[in-house]
Amino acid sequence: MDLLNQLNDKQREAVECTEGPLLILAGAGSGKTRAITFRIAYLMAEKSVDPWNIMAITFTNKAANEMRERVNKVAGMGAEAVWVSTFHSSCSRILRRFADRIGYGNNFTIYDTDDSRTAVKDIIKELSLETKKYSPANIARYISGCKNRMTGPEECAKDARSPEEKNMAEIYRRYNDRLFKNNALDFDDLLIKTVELFKKDSEVLSYYQNRFRYIMVDEYQDTNRIQFEFVLLLAAKHKNICVVGDDDQSIYKFRGADIRNILDFEKHFPGTKVIRLEQNYRSTGNILKAANEVISNNVERKSKKLWTENEEGGLIDMFYYDSAPGEASGVVNSIIKTSHALGVPFHDFAVLYRTNAQSRLFEEQLIYENIPYRIVGAVNFYSRKEIKDVMAYLKTIDNARDDVAVKRIINVPKRGIGGTSIERLDRYASEKGISFYEACAEAEEVPGLGRAAGKIERFVTLIRKLRTIAKEETAAGITEAVINETGYRKELEEENTEEAAERLENIGELVSKARLYDETEGSDGLSGFLQEVSLVADIDSLDENADGVLLMTLHSAKGLEFDHVYIAGLEEGVFPGFRTLWGEDGSEIEEERRLFYVGVTRARKTLSLSMAKSRMMHGETEWHRASLFVEELPAEVVHFHSEGGGRSSYGSSYGSTGRYGTSYGAPAGYGSREGRGGGSQYSGRQPYGGSGTQGHGGTQSAQVPKPSRSAFSYKSFTPSEYKVQKASSLSYGVGDRVKHVKFGEGTVTEIRNQPKDYEVTVDFDRAGTKRLFAAFAKLEKI
DNA sequence: CGTAGTTTTGTTTTT
DNA sequence: CAAAACTACG
C-alpha cells in the first residue's frame, strides 16, 4: 500500500511488525509519532483490525487528540473508535464503569494535588501532629511516592523505624481510608485501583483483554511501575504490545517513572522485536551534534547515535548575562531581532526554562516590548479559586461523600459558618461514622452548634435544590444553576472590582467548557464532565497556531518542536538545580542532563542558550556559575558570546554557590572557552535594546503592567494593537526629533531598511540609545 | 465570626 | 521577595 512509501526502512519495519511484542527505541525527532500513527492505520487498512480493538496510550490529552486526528487523516474514517488516551483517562473511563466492583461508587471524585493536600492537612490536624515537621505538601509527596512504588500503608508501617516514619505511615493509612470513605481517588489511585480491579475481577480483565487486542504505548520511558503493571495485564492475552520510547528522554523519575521498564522490556516479553529509529528529521546537524555529545555523558543508557541528512545549520549561541532581568531582556530582544530579520512569526519561538518561577521575568519583558506571548503552566485554569469553588459545588452535587469539596464551599459565599462549626460537624461525623455532609443534614442533632445550625440547614437545602436541578440538566445547565443559586455570581458582581470581573469571566469560560462537553459525542452528564476536567493538563489546551512567543518549562516541552528555541537559566543551582547537585547520587544529574537533551532536541533551526551570573532567589541575590552542561557542549558548534564587552571576567570569581564535592564540579577548561568565541559581532552591546538593558531590571517594573490573567488555562498576552506591518515610508528621517510612548523624546540617528521593517536608531534624552522597529515603536515626529 | 495585620515559609519538574 | 498561613483584635 502506498502509505508505506512515506516511511523510511526502519519506520516501515515498525509499522509492518504488528504481531507480538515490539519495542521501538525512537530517538528525538525520528518520526515516532508518524510510525505509531501509520501503524494504527496499517492495522486497520491492511490487517482488517477493527478500530475498537486498538488502544494507544499517549502522555497527554493533547498528544492523544493529535494522534486521533492524524490517524483519521491517514486511515480515513473509523479512527474515532480507536481508544486513544492517557493512562489516567483510560483508567478513569474503566473505573467509571466498574469501580463498584471494588467497593467504590462509579461516580467517584478525582482529587487533584490540592485536594490531596487538603485531606492530608486535615489528617495531620486530626492526629494533632506539629505541622512543623509534617508539611502537608511533603507528606502528600511521600504518599504519592509510595503509591507509585506500589507500597501500601501497611508495608510502610512495617518498614518504619523512626517515630516520624511511623507517623507518616499512619497518615498514609488514614489518608487512604478517608479517600475511600469520600468515594474519591487521587491521580495515583486511578492507576492503582484499575490494576486492583483487573487482578480481582477476571471477568472485567478478560473483557478488556479481548477488547484491546493491539496496544501501543507512547513515551514508554516515562511509565512507572503501576502503569507497567496495567499494560502487562492488558497485553497478557494477545501480547500484541508495542511500546515506543527513548531512554534518553526519561525525565519523570521524580514521579515514579522507572527507566527499567524500558531497559527490561525484553525480559518481561520474551521474543520482543527491537527496532531503532535513529534518523533525525527535525534538527540541524549542529544541534544534533550538540545533543549527541551532551547525552553521551550519561552512563545509564542504551547507546545510540542519532544522525541526520539535514543541513549543518548555524552555530548554537551561548550568552552569558550579568543578571536575570538582563537575560530576559537579551532573550526577548534576540527574538524580536530574529523574527524581523527572518520575517517569521512569533509562534516559531519558544523559551524553555527549568522552573515555572523563571517565567515571570520573560513575561514582564515581553509585555514591555509589546510582544504577544503564551505561557503554559504557571496558573492552571482549573486551579483558580473561583473555578475550584464552582467545581467543589459540582462535586458536592455529584458525590456527597466528597468531604473535601463540601468543606470547601460550605462557607463560600459567606454564610457565617466558621471554623468552630466545621470542627463540631467534623467531630460529630466521625463519632457517628457518617460523612461530613450527612452531619450537615442533621445539624440540629449536632451539639453546640447554636444558631449556626440554621445556617447549615439552609446550606443543605440549597444543595438539595441543586441536586434536583441536576437531575434534569446538562453539565452546563447545572454549572449555571450553581453560579446563580448559590449567590456566587451576585457576590462577585457586587464586589465590582477588576479582579472580580476577571473571576466572572473565568466562570463564564467554565460554563462554555461544560457546554462544549455536553455537545461532545458520548458525553456523560455532570459526572463525566467532572472526571474529564480533572484530568486536563496545562499543555492540553495549547493552540500552536495562535501567534505569540511560547513560554514553558522543559518538561512541558516534551514532544513538541519549534524552529527557534531558547533555553534560559543554564546555571548551576538552577539547571541543574541545587538539589541535584548536592545529591551524591549521580543518577539525579543524569536525569537533569536528559532534560537538557530534551530541550536541545526541541529545536529545528536555531538554538540559543543563556545564563545569568546573578539572580534573585528567595529574596537574595545569588551568584551562579554556568551549568556544567554548557561545558559539555562540543565547542566547535557553539558561538560563546559574552555580555558587556570588555568585561570578560564572568568566570572564576563568582563562586559563592560554593564548591560541590561531586565528580562533576570544577571543570578544567572553565573560563577559557569564552575567548574562543569572543569578539563576536555582538560583543560590547546587546543585539537590541542598547545600553540601558541592565538598568531596566530595577526600574521598569513600575511602568510595566502586571502580566494579565486570561480565561484560558494558559496565560497569554496579546497587545491590543499588534500588527507587523511595514510602513511604506516613514514620516521622519535621520536627525528628526521623535517621541516614543515609553522612552520619551529623542533624536533619530540612523534608519536601516530591513526586509520586514525599518530599524530605527534613536538617541533618547532620558532612556539612552535604542534600536527600534518602526512598526512596533510607533514613533511620532515632533 | 470575620478581618487586618503579622509571621513564616519556600523553589523543581506533572498526570 | 512573594504568597500563604497564622494570630490577635474588633
pLDDT per position as a tens digit, A77-132? 677 889 999 999 999 999 999 999 999 999 899 998 888 888 888 888 777 766 66
How far is A50 from A243, CA to CA, in rounded Å? 20
Name the residue closest to C6, CA to C1'.
Answer: A131
**Using the CB atom, is residue A131 less than 7 Å from strand C?**
yes
Q: Average pLDDT for residues A140-156, to the nearest whole number?
A: 89
Q: Is A33 a catalytic residue?
A: yes
Task: Give A511 CA → B2 C1' in Å.
Answer: 31
Q: pLDDT tens digits, residue range A416-428?
A: 888 888 888 888 8
**Using the CB atom, is residue A461 less than 7 Å from strand C?**
no
Q: Is A279 a catalytic residue?
A: no
* Partners of A739 in the β-ladder: A745, A780
Q: Average pLDDT for residues A490-508, to the nearest whole number?
A: 82
Task: Give A599 CA → C3 C1' in Å.
Answer: 30
Q: What pLDDT sits at residue A136?
A: 84
**Using the CB atom, is residue A704 less than 7 Å from strand C?**
no
**Using the CB atom, is residue A621 less than 7 Å from strand C?**
no
* Partners of A617 in the β-ladder: A620
Name the residue closest to B10, CA to C1'.
Answer: A618
C-alpha A543: how far from its chain's center?
Answer: 14
Q: What are phi and psi of A319, to 5 degrees?
A: -110, 135
The catalytic position among A37, A86, A194, A249 is: A249
Q: What pLDDT sits at residue A164?
A: 78
Task: Give A185 CA → B8 C1' in Å.
Answer: 32
Task: Give A618 CA → C1 C1' in Å.
Answer: 6
pLDDT at A286 over 50: yes
Q: With contact defined as beta carbons under 8 Å apart, do A197 and A98 qualify?
A: yes
Q: pLDDT tens digits, residue range A586-612?
A: 778 888 999 999 999 999 999 999 999
The nucleotide minimizing the C1' distance to residue A131's CA is C5
Q: What pLDDT sits at residue A637?
A: 94
Q: With contact defined as beta carbons under 8 Å apart, do A713 and A539 qualify?
A: no
Counting Cα atoms < 13 Å in the Cβ hemisphere of A708 gives: 19
Work out the angle between the directed axes of helices A136-148 and A113-126 (0-180°, nearest 10): 110
Long-range contacts of A389-396 (CB under 8 A, 24+ apart): A389/A488, A390/A479, A390/A482, A390/A483, A390/A488, A390/A507, A390/A510, A391/A510, A391/A530, A391/A533, A393/A466, A393/A482, A393/A486, A394/A478, A394/A479, A394/A482, A394/A526, A394/A529, A394/A530, A395/A109, A395/A530, A396/A437, A396/A463
Q: pLDDT tens digits, residue range A183-232?
A: 999 999 999 999 999 999 999 999 999 999 999 999 999 999 899 999 99
What average pLDDT does chain A have?
82
∠A557-A559-A564 over CA atoms, to 5°? 55
Higher pLDDT, A57 or A772: A57
Q: Which nucleotides of C are covered by protein (CB under 7 A)?
A: 1-2, 5-6
In Å, the largest CA–CA distance within chain A is 85
Q: pLDDT tens digits, residue range A711-761?
A: 333 455 654 433 334 556 677 888 888 877 656 788 888 777 765 556 677
pLDDT at A678 over 60: no
How far is A355 from A372, CA to CA, in rounded Å? 21
Q: Which nucleotides of B are covered by protein (CB under 7 A)?
A: 1-3, 9-15
Question: Which amino acid, residue A94?
Answer: I
Higher pLDDT, A726 or A445: A445
Q: Is A558 a catalytic residue?
A: no
Name the residue closest to B12, CA to C1'.
Answer: A355
Q: What pLDDT sits at residue A379?
A: 66
pLDDT at A576 over 70: yes
**Using the CB atom, is residue A646 less than 7 Å from strand C?**
no
The catalytic position among A594, A602, A604, A625 is: A602
Q: Is A211 a catalytic residue?
A: no
Measured CA distances, A559 to A282, A506, A594 (Å): 12, 29, 14
- Report the predicted TM-score, pTM, of the whole model to 2 decimal places: 0.80
**Using the CB atom, is residue A731 less than 7 Å from strand C?**
no
High-pLDDT (> 90) share of chain A, %: 40
Q: With contact defined as beta carbons under 8 Å apart, do A533 and A395 qualify?
A: no
The nucleotide minimizing the C1' distance to residue A616's CA is C1
Q: Average pLDDT for residues A536-564, to the nearest whole number?
A: 85
Q: What pLDDT sits at residue A692?
A: 30
Name the residue closest to C1, CA to C1'.
Answer: A619
Task: Give A110 CA → B11 C1' in Å.
Answer: 27
A433: Cβ contacts below 8 Å, ≥ 6 apart? none
The catalytic position among A10, A32, A489, A715 is: A32
How far is A680 from A318, CA to CA, in rounded Å? 12
Q: Average pLDDT for residues A671-688, to the nearest whole number?
A: 29
Task: Give A713 CA → C8 C1' in Å.
Answer: 38
- The set of cell numbers assigned to A617 is 532567589
Task: Give A135 CA → B10 C1' in Å.
Answer: 12
Q: What pLDDT sits at residue A375?
A: 84
Name the residue closest to B13, CA to C1'.
Answer: A555
Q: What pLDDT sits at residue A446?
A: 87
Q: Average pLDDT for residues A17-26, to the nearest whole number?
A: 93
Picking from A599, A621, A622, A594, the residue whose alpha carbon sits closest to that of residue A610 is A599
**Using the CB atom, is residue A522 less than 7 Å from strand C?**
no
Write out the DSSP string of A721-765.
T------SS-S--TT-EEEETTTEEEEEEEEEE-SSSEEEEEEET
A414: Cβ contacts below 8 Å, ≥ 6 apart? A491
CA quadruple A412, A415, A419, A424: dihedral sign: negative
Between β-strands A620-623 and A744-753, what pairing exists: parallel, antiparallel or unpaired? unpaired
The catalytic position among A115, A188, A219, A248 is: A219
Task: Give A450 CA → B2 C1' in Å.
Answer: 18
Count CB-CB contacts under 10 A for residue A412.
19
Task: Give A8 CA → B9 C1' in Å.
Answer: 55
Q: Is A218 a catalytic residue?
A: yes
- The set of cell numbers assigned to A214 is 493491539
Q: pLDDT tens digits, residue range A387-427?
A: 888 999 999 999 888 888 998 889 878 888 888 888 888 88
Q: What pLDDT sits at residue A237?
A: 93
**Using the CB atom, is residue A419 less than 7 Å from strand C?**
no
Higher pLDDT, A291 or A1: A291
**Using the CB atom, is residue A616 less than 7 Å from strand C?**
yes
Q: Is A249 a catalytic residue?
A: yes
Q: With contact defined as beta carbons under 8 Å apart, do A567 and A600 qualify?
A: yes
Q: Average pLDDT for residues A616-632, to the nearest whole number?
A: 88
Task: Give A499 CA → C10 C1' in Å.
Answer: 27
The nucleotide minimizing the C1' distance to residue A575's CA is B12
Q: What pLDDT sits at residue A123?
A: 85
Q: Which residue has the cell 505561557?
A: A375
pLDDT grade, residue A149 (50/70/90)? confident
How far is A221 from A249, CA to CA, in rounded Å? 7
Q: What share of chain A is helix, strand, coil (3-state, %, to 5)?
A: 50, 15, 35
Q: Which of A145-149, A169-173, A467-471, A653-657 has the lowest mean pLDDT?
A: A653-657
